[in-house]
């Protein structure tokens, strides 16, 4: 098993440019198959989830190649509308191909999607929404078959699911007539998908804060698009600076990208300043506990930063409370943090964290992507050598976490468990 060794106990100090966004890139890659032509994506992150999505696109008949940081996708040869079971099992975002394949072919077959184990993660909203656009579904031994060309319609999402909003947008672009979606997720990655689809020729209009209208079947054409910066990766490095009482500069990021995160960092005592596309994070004066961190859909505090925030609060003076409202199984890293000396009590969807002066280095194991990032932060806080197993989870979303933490002055290295 691949692992990361962290020699922690010193403040981070340095600067880096934050990578492109995973959660923006994945739906945009799925969207590229809507058009029988070429999409060029700049700033696409080189992470394993993107590689998995590329494999899926290739299995459908796309030709995909990298040219420096640009990913070039030619979807003119797409001929298949089935996603193989192994591909779907690797990554939840494979479900986004439902909307895209139905849009292009009026037909698709996909297995129930996999991904990090952070809750039940059903796809009922995706299927209900697509059914409202005229698609008929049947399920058979773990596979979902969809049939019917989407047509314009109305759907109100009872919960603002990010993935369901994206799937409906993808299907609506090729639907005959106008589709009105209400209760849509408002994450910046939804905006990025709409910008990409519009750049491709789609006619998409925001009709209210959570309402989007799509005028279907606008002619699509080749396009070039730059994937925005990853706000979760930026938040991870900002929190790592807070956890180590460091001072770092993160480039490529703006205030609005980080809505929901900044108030809490400041409340903790971290000083933030912005100049053009650079955010300086200064935690050298120390940090204090937070009475309540509640994860919420955008613009609330992102669930994807909850574990990293917990790792920081483990050494913040006082008692903090975290409430997880988005996923029901996202305290999977608590036991590992406790092994490092953290004082955490979990009851239902809440965790109480009593700050201790210092964490202890230990051998711990990542079980999901963001939990893995949290353990790296805990390792940076602890004096001595922490070994984090399960690097493959971290590589799903972080391009090269060792390179980045080294730019911030950390002593980290990749290794292989040789059983010793
Ligand atoms: C996306 C993000 C993920 C992030 C999450 C919430 C990507 C690739 N992933 O995941 O990093 O943590 O948004 O911000 O963009 N739900 C249902 N039925 C459905 C769909 C969702 O009950 O059909 C529930 C889920 O179980 C979960 C909640 O809704 O409890 C949020 O899920 P959703 O917003 O759909 O997240 P994802 O799109 O899977």
DSSP letters spanning 188-254: HHHHHHHHHHHHTT-EEEEEETTEEEEETTPPP--EEEEPPB-HHHHHHHHHHHHHTT-EEEEES--
Per-residue confidence (pLDDT) for residue 140, from 0 to 100: 85
Q: Do domains 2-18+229-416 and 22-226 have the same CATH topology?
A: yes
DSSP 62: -
User: In angstroms, how far is CA 337 from the centroid of its own chain?
Assistant: 22
Q: What is the pLDDT of residues 324-337, one digit of tens each?
A: 999 987 899 999 99
163 Cα–ligand 1 center, Å: 6
Half-sphere exposure for 129 (CA within 13 Å, toward CB): 32
DSSP bridge partners of 66 = 71
DSSP-assigned beta bridge partners for residue 7? 385, 411
* Atom 8 (ligand 1) nearest CA: 23
pLDDT in tens, 165-198: 999 999 999 999 999 999 999 999 999 999 999 9
State the architecture of 22-226 in CATH terms.
Alpha-beta prism (3.65)
Structurally, what CATH architecture does the domain formed by 2-18+229-416 represent?
Alpha-beta prism (3.65)
CA of 290 to the centre of ligand 1 (A): 26
What is the structure's pLDDT at 120?
60
Where exactly are the structural domains of the chain?
2-18+229-416, 22-226
DSSP assignment string, 259-307: TTTHHHHHHTT-EEEEETTEEEEE-TT--B--S-EEB-STTSB-GGGHH
| Percent over 70 (pLDDT), the chain | 97
Q: Is the pLDDT of residue 119 over 80?
A: no
Return phi, psi of residue 304, to 5°. Answer: -70, -5
Checking if the pLDDT of 114 tops 80, the result is no
Q: Which residue is it, tokens 């880096």?
A: 16
Tell me the pLDDT band of 256, cut-offs 50, 70 and 90: confident
Helix axes 97-105, 124-132, angle to 10 degrees: 20
The alpha carbons of the chain give a radius of gyration, in whole angstroms, of 21
Asked if 113 contacts 95 with a C-beta cutoff of 8 angstroms, the reply is yes
- Residue identifier of the C-alpha nearest atom 30 of ligand 1: 327
Atom number, ligand 1, closest to the C-alpha of residue 126 = 23
| Cβ < 6 A, ligand 1 pocket | 23, 26, 92-93, 119-126, 159, 161-164, 189, 303-304, 326-327
| Percent of the chain surpassing pLDDT 90 | 88
Which of 326, 331, 397 has most ligand 1 atoms within 8 Å of its beta carbon, as the pocket-test mutant?
326
One of 116, 174, 194, 365 is an active-site residue; which one? Answer: 116
Q: Is the dihedral of CA 160, 332, 8, 358 positive or negative?
A: positive
pLDDT value at position 420?
Answer: 45
Integer angstrom CA distances of residue 147 from 135, 186, 301, 377: 6, 29, 38, 46
CB-CB neighbours of 352 under 10 Å? 14
Longest dimension (CA), the chain: 63
Assess whether 116 carries a catalytic annotation.
yes
Packing angle, helices 97-105 and 48-60, rounded to 10? 20
Out of 27, 120, 158, 163, mutate this one to test ligand 1's pocket (max ligand atoms within 8 Å of CB): namely 163
CA separation (Å) from 295 to 92, 171, 281, 318, 322? Answer: 21, 29, 22, 20, 8
Structure confidence by residue, pLDDT tens digits, 268-307: 999 999 998 999 999 999 999 999 999 999 999 999 999 9
Q: Is the peptide bond before 397 cis (omega within 30 degrees of 0)?
A: no
The closest of 249, 196, 189 to 12, measured between CA atoms, is 249
Residue entry with tokens 């990766």: 233
Q: What is the residue whose two structure tokens read 């483990």?
A: 314
Cα 220 to Cα 101, 107, 199, 223, distances in angstroms: 15, 20, 9, 9
Check if the beta carbon of residue 372 is closer than 8 Å to that of residue 48: no
Kindly report the pTM of this predicted structure: 0.96
Kindly report the protein residue whose alpha carbon is nearest to atom 20 of ligand 1: 123
For 372-394, what is each residue's pLDDT tens digit? Answer: 999 999 999 999 999 999 999 99
Mean of pLDDT values over 57-73: 95
Sign of the dihedral defined by the CA atoms of residues 298, 126, 329, 143, in that order: negative
- In this predicted structure, the answer to whether residue 117 has a pLDDT above a threshold of 80 is no
Atom of ligand 1 nearest to the CA of 185: 34
Centre of ligand 1 to C-alpha 139, Å, is: 21
Residues paired with 250 in a beta bridge: 16, 279
Q: Output the six-digit token pair for 68.
A: 């420096």
Listed range (31-40, 141-150, 351-360) with the worst mean pLDDT: 141-150
Residue 343: which residues within 8 A CB-CB, separation 6 or more?
Answer: 314, 353, 354, 355, 356
């Amino acid at each position: 098993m691949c692992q990361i060794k962290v020699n922690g106990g010193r403040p981070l100090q340095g600067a880096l440019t934050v990578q492109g966004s995973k959660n923006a890139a994945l739906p945009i890659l799925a969207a590229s198959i809507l058009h029988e032509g070429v999409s060029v994506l700049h700033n696409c992150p080189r992470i394993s989830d993107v590689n998995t999505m590329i494999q899926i696109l290739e299995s459908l008949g796309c030709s995909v190649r990298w040219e420096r940081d640009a990913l070039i996708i030619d979807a003119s040869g797409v001929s298949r509308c089935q996603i193989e079971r192994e591909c779907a099992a690797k990554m939840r975002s494979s479900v986004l191909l439902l909307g895209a394949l139905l849009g292009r072919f009026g037909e698709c077959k996909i297995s129930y999607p996999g991904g990090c184990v952070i809750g039940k993660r059903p796809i009922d909203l995706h299927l209900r929404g697509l059914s409202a656009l005229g698609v008929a579904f049947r399920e058979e031994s773990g596979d979902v078959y969809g049939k019917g060309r989407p047509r314009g319609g109305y759907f109100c999402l009872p919960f603002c699911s990010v993935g369901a909003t994206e799937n409906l947008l993808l299907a609506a672009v090729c639907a005959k007539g106008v589709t009105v979606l209400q209760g849509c997720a408002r994450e910046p990655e939804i905006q990025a998908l709409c910008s990409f689809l519009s750049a491709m020729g789609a006619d998409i209009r925001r009709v209210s804060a959570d309402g989007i209208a799509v005028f279907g079947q606008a002619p699509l054409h080749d396009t070039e698009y730059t994937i925005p910066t990853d706000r979760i990766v930026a938040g991870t490095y900002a929190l790592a600076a807070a956890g180590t009482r460091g001072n770092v500069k993160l480039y490529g990021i703006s205030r609005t990208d980080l809505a929901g995160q900044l108030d809490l960092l400041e409340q903790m005592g971290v000083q933030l300043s912005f100049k053009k596309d650079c955010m300086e994070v200064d935690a050298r004066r120390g940090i204090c506990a937070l009475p309540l961190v509640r994860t919420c859909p955008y613009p609330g505090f992102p669930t994807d930063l909850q574990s990293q925030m917990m790792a920081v609060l483990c050494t913040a003076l006082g008692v903090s409370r975290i409430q997880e409202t988005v996923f029901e199984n996202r305290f999977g890293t608590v036991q590992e943090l406790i092994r490092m000396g953290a004082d955490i009590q979990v009851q239902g969807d809440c965790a109480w964290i009593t700050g201790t002066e210092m964490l202890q280095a230990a051998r711990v194991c990542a079980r999901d992507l963001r939990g893995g990032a949290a353990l790296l932060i805990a390792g940076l806080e602890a004096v001595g050598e922490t070994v984090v197993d399960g690097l493959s989870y971290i590589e799903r979303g972080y391009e090269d976490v060792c390179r980045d933490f080294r730019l911030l002055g950390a002593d980290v290295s990749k290794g292989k468990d040789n059983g010793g």
